[in-house]
Structures are given as structure tokens and as C-alpha cells.
Chains A and B, each alone.
Chain A
């Protein structure tokens, strides 16, 4: 019986390729959540928004055969889910943690209900976003396979990171978002419409979470199953803390988490002599360790979870 050595080039390439693909839904959702939190709103409904996005994208793609329409429909649903969260948390000033959990349950329940009513059974589609080989680059040894043969939504997820950085730090809008999240009263005095900025970020968060769900159902998997996000939305919220509310920090966290996830799978395939139960825990243990090590180094937005009331 022949066994491939665990750390051969082929295996490492496999781990990195899988890690990058696994990271894309987390990136969309976590970058969206980051904007929301930078403006002072904690949205714990990410999981529900992802599920609704995943279902909508899958259903529309299945019916029309066009994944772009599926993605567009998911974004519209994301707008609605985001706006609903914004109304509750900004206009009505509900406690954000609790209303977020409420939206998680609504999103999960509604996606289950729609799945039952419209599909009724699990289906596999072959019309989702397939891997794209980027000309020339895809043929590079090793790097080609890892970076340039992914599906379009993975490229979009990674392109989102510098874009988010640019918006947050190099535009007036980004300045307003940060101001509203740090000191909404000062921002208000300077003529920034706090509610408007927060509506924008929370709605954008909804859209990005829904896109993250779509990345799962019509790009990475081409399947929809009830509750298929299996806690990814909550990991995405944790990644925002992990990443210190910075786009590249979030990217680092998402990559680290996904890479370790991919690594533990490959360790099992190549029969690394550690019980599977321990390997399965690895990504989570690592996340906790890094969180503990980074605590105190970064500060959360001062107005996070605090509704704005003009005095």
C-alpha cells in the first residue's frame, strides 16, 4: 500500500486551494458585519441573512439556469433583511444582540419554509458558478492551482477586502462610518446623519451576508440544504472581533480559520496519527488562542451596540 507523504507539494497545494475556497463565504459576511459594527451596530442576524441569501440564489439559479440572476435575487433579499434589521435596531433602538438573534431565527425559519414550499427536496444544480481558469496565470505551477482556478465569487470575495479598506479609510463615507461608530454625538454635531449612515452600513451588511450565503449555495457547493450554513454566520461575527475591525485583519482571520479547517481534513485523509475528534477542534481552539493573544491590542468601536439618541 502506497501512501503519499503528508507534506508533499500536492497535498500542501490541496490544502491551500481548499482553504481559499472555504474562506470566501466568511469573507463576504464578515466584511459586511465589519462595516455594520464600525458604524456602531452589532448584527447577530448574519446567519439568518446568509441562509436567506443561500436559498434565494439557489432557487433562482435552479429556475432560470443563470447564477447571475440568482446572485442578484440574493442581493435584493439581503437588502430587505438588512433594512428590517436597520429599522429595528436604529429607528426603534431595540437591543441589538437580541434583535439580531431574532433575525437569525426568522432567516433560518423562513428559508426552511420556502425550501419546503418551493423545492421540497434537496437538489444538485450544475448551472452554478464553476471554476474559472484565468488565462496564463492558471498554468503557473502550484500558484496557478491555488489562486487562479477558483470560482468567480471567490475572486470577488478577495477583491472585496482592498475595496473595503479603501472605502473605510480613504473616502468621506468611510470617515463618516468610523465617526458614527466612535462618537455619534460629535459626528451629529458636525452634521453627519447618524441614522442614515447606520442604515447604509446595516443594509450593506445584509447584502454582503446574503452574497456570502450565495457563495456557498451556487458557487462552492451547488446544493441547498436547510440550515446549511451550520454556524458560519456566527463565526463571521467572531472574525470581525478577531480581525480587530479592520479589513485585512478580517482577511487574515478568515484565511487562518479556513486553512486550519482544510488542514484538519487533509490530516485525516493522510491518517495523521491524532484522533479525528481533536483535529476537528483545531480551528476553534486556534481561534480562541489568537483571540486571547490579541485581546487588549485592539479596541472595539466605542459606540458599538449603543443606539443613538440625540440629546
Chain B
């Protein structure tokens, strides 16, 4: 009897673990042939940042294309271990998905290995501009965000809003999308008001919420009154800003973070991957499986600045921000760091 209980409990545990590991699925109805997409993401679809931006775009594309009968997608989230992600990518390709998206630049090396084994499957990979086409791989798309553009606009807003003339940055690791965004921000601040002091902390992790909070507190203690940050861990920094009761402001990126702290968030740069997804899907339907690098920008609408219309001091920043957006779109402002 006790042996039975032991095995039963072990099985139950195993079932729980499996249940926890498998991502959600959206099954298409029978009949017809939907376009099938699988995506592998490093963090959670509700991270208010990188992974959520892709998830939201896929949901949007599904609506545009007429629901799950026409566009089916599955996802594996929290694939922070690259080995696990590689296994998932290979598995999805073997299952015959039309497009397999590896949403994380850290998956690049694995994708380069896997893609040639599935020449009739299209892959997409971001954020990066590397399609591996020069290495003979023909079925990988690359996509990235010109996050420096929204960074620049956020920098202009921060410069207009700061009273202490000190602004703070909470970053994860000084590479890739985070680096681009932060350098765009710094340029925006400097070109608006060179006298402003910019403080910067990298926590070394995309996941360490506690450290992000301490970084924000350190900035605030040093006198910063407008903070920005990028990475999933910034929710800790936003909590710290929120506790200051309106004395310190936050400007977001990647997803709309306003509902986290509606009274202190000025605006957010929002990534809308629908722009590149539409293009990739159209090309895949025409049997072009890769070899191109695509970019979301303010100009093509893949990047948007979403203002928090309820924020009390928005008037001090919005006109300058809108001018900066126009300048970047028509080329009079160069937001490249």
C-alpha cells in the first residue's frame, strides 16, 4: 500500500512538473489549413517587456488574419536555458510549423545549427540583424527594434521633466537591445540639456527584481527624479519609484507599463512586432523562407510612444516628445548613438 502511495505521489509530482513546463496552446479548429507559427521566448508572456511584446503581436496578427482557423500559434515561454530552447525549436520544426520564431538573440548559435536541417521551414530570430545567409543558411529571418529611437524620445521627455537635473538608468547587461535603448536615451537627454547628469547601473541580470529595486533606490538617493530601465526585472525599479509618491517619475519601454504605477509613469516606448510579422508571413507564403533582416522603427509604426494621458505633468513633455518623433521620422534628428 505504501509503495502504491509512493509511486502515485511521484507520478502526481511528475505530472505537475510537466504541466508547469508546457506552454499554453491554442489549437486550430479542424478543416482548412491555417498558417502555423511556433515561438520560443526567454521569459514569461506576461513580463510587461520583451516576451510579452511578441506574444501581444501574435495575438494581434491572429485577430487580423481571422482567428485560430486561419492563424494558429503555440509558444514555449520561460526558456531562459538556451539548451531547452534549442530542443523546443528543433521539436517545433520537426512538427512542421510554417514559421518557428526564436525570440531571443541568445538562441542564435542554436538556430544556426538547427535551421539547415529543416530547409522547408522558415525561422525568424531576434533581436539581431544576423540571418546567417553569408554562411549559406537560407531560411532564417532576423528582426530587431531601433530601440534607440524611442530611447531618444524618452531622453527628451526625461530632460524636460527632471527638476533635479539628474536622471537614472536601470539596465540589465550592457549589450544588444538594452545597450541600444540606453545609448539612444543618453543621446536624447544630452541633446536636450547637456547639463543634466545621467546615472547608470547594470544589474547583471534580466531577472533580479530585488537588485533592480536597489539600483532604483540608489539613483533616487543620489538625487535622480526621472528613471528609465529595460529588462523584465524593472518591475522592481517601478515599485521603488511608485513608493516615492509622485516625486520620482518613470518612462517605460518594450511594453506599456502604465498600469503598474499609473500616477508616476509618463509614457512608454512600445514594440509592435506585427509590422515585421506581417512582412515575414507574406514572404513565407510566397516560399521565401529567410535571408532578410527586418527592423521596427518609429517610421514604419513598429515602434510607438504611448503617452499616459492621465499623467498630471504630461503637458511639460509631450510637445517636445512629439517634435522629436517627427524629427526622427523625417530624418532631421539622428537618434543613432
Contacts and interface: CB of A to CB of B under 8 A. Distances in A.
B6 interface: yes
A122 B218 contact: no
Contacts of A126: 242-243
Interface residues of A, number: 52
A146 interface: no
A226 B209 contact: no
B1 interface: no
Contacts of A21: 214
A116 B233 CA distance: 18
B114 interface: no
Contacts of A231: 208
A265 B215 contact: yes
Q: How large is the interface on B (under 10, 10 to 19, 20 to 34, 35 or more residues)?
A: 35 or more
Interface stretch (A107-115, A172-180, A197-205): A107-115
A189 interface: no
B213 A265 contact: no
Interface stretch (B27-35, B62-70, B199-207, B302-310): B199-207
Interface string B197-237: 10111111101111101110111011000000000110110
Interface string B117-146: 000000000000000000000000000000
B229 to A, nearest CB: 13
B320 interface: no
Contacts of A232: 210
B236 A223 contact: yes
A220 B243 CA distance: 11
A220 B210 contact: yes
Contact of A121 (B21, B48, B174, B211): B48
Given A112-B78, A113-B20, A268 B200 contact: yes
Contacts of B314: none
Contacts of B214: 18, 21-22, 261-262, 265
Given A124-B239, A270-B222, A109 B17 contact: yes
Contacts of B219: 269
B260 interface: yes
A280 B20 CA distance: 31
Contact of A109 (B16, B44, B215, B239): B16
Contacts of B47: 122, 225-226
A4 interface: yes
A65 interface: no
For the complex, would chain A's binding face be called helix, strand, loop or mixed by DSSP majority?
Answer: helix
A101 to B, nearest CB: 11
B23 to A, nearest CB: 10
B25 interface: no
Interface in B263-307: none
A120 B218 contact: no
A22 B215 CA distance: 12
B163 to A, nearest CB: 15
Nearest to A2: B197
Nearest to A120: B46
Contacts of A280: 202-204
Given A109-B20, A122-B48, A221-B239, 12 more contacts: A18-B214, A18-B218, A109-B21, A121-B46, A122-B46, A216-B210, A221-B209, A228-B210, A230-B207, A265-B214, A269-B199, A269-B215
15 contacts: A102-B17, A113-B19, A216-B209, A221-B209, A225-B47, A226-B43, A232-B210, A269-B201, A269-B218, A269-B219, A270-B222, A271-B200, A276-B202, A277-B173, A280-B204
Closest 3 CB pairs of A and B: A109-B20, A280-B204, A230-B207
